[in-house]
Structure 1
């Protein structure tokens, strides 16, 4: 029994430096848009880490709304935390100091700009970096009499102000 306890204690002592090393990882927190955070941001983070000399890059799905990208450079671990709870949640996390970057699939609202005054002019192009733009394609059934639609009409449809084909 004493031998078993001694071995367990030795094993625990040997594992402690590994656990301490894992806990010392620096974290970069990126929170916000579900759309950006699901595929694009993890791929951008992995590419960026590789370009600045990080190795052992691993993407880990922590849960349905959190992905971590782990990497090491000069024996220093880094974890990039990518949280996907929506643009508004990302901005709130940035304002609270719970995130270093906010992913947004839209421009910040006036209320968000006011709430984040201490971060600088967050509505300014100097504070934003566009990584993607959305596109829309309109497809209708062949038997639909609609043959063309203008950008203004499409905007009204997508905003929910036009909800009947006859209005087009």
Structure 2
């Protein structure tokens, strides 16, 4: 006996694949749906979990650029280069974080619209069959747009 595991997006092609497998005499078929994410991912990373989303990278770059400009102009302006360098760094950091925040909000709203438009969850299909039927089962699943597949003996 052999088990073939495949993932699908839930669609009528999945239903057709199951029906076709049943017509070929394969009766041990399990389907399990995966739940979609219900809550937003956390925004701030910590030492144990990081998702690659950072709000400080552009802030630090802008802080460096604005502090350099502020310090160089501070030799001419009243207050001196130290005050204008610090002011430029603060202004650049705030501007960079605000820019990153705006980009995040735009991307998040686009992703939410895609989910509302009918983004469906995935289904894991487990088919138990004889070893001589395995290639036929794999062909049927691939023909009906399986996202991925593996087999176990």
Normalising by structure 1, report the TM-score: 0.19
1 or 2, which has the higher helix percentage?
2
Normalising by structure 2, report the TM-score: 0.20
Highest RCO, 1 vs 2 (Cα 8 Å, sep ≥ 6): 2
Q: Which has the larger radius of gyration?
A: 2
